Amino acid sequence: MSKIFKIDGAKFPDMETLKESLWSLYSDKMSKDEFEAYVKANVKEEG
């Protein structure tokens, strides 16, 4: 079974896809470092 990465109600097949998909939504709200910390604190792995 492969892992699923969940954040903000969305599911992604891997961490790279999650970050690429969400960075454009958050880039005007926080710095890249703040985004990385947000992802680390809020992502949930399943599988």
What tens digit of pLDDT does each residue of 14-39 get? 999 999 999 999 999 999 999 999 99
Instruction: Give the per-residue pLDDT at 40.
Output: 97
Read out DSSP for 12-25? ESSHHHHHHHHHHH
Instruction: Give the per-residue pLDDT at 1.
Output: 62
Contact 8, 46 (CB under 8 A): no
Instruction: Give the per-residue pLDDT at 2.
Output: 85
Domain-wise residue ranges, the chain: 4-46
Instruction: Give the per-residue pLDDT at 25.
Output: 94
What tens digit of pLDDT does each residue of 1-17 get? 689 999 999 999 999 99
**Helix or strand run (H / E) with residue 32:** helix 32-42
Residues 38-42 have a mean pLDDT of 97
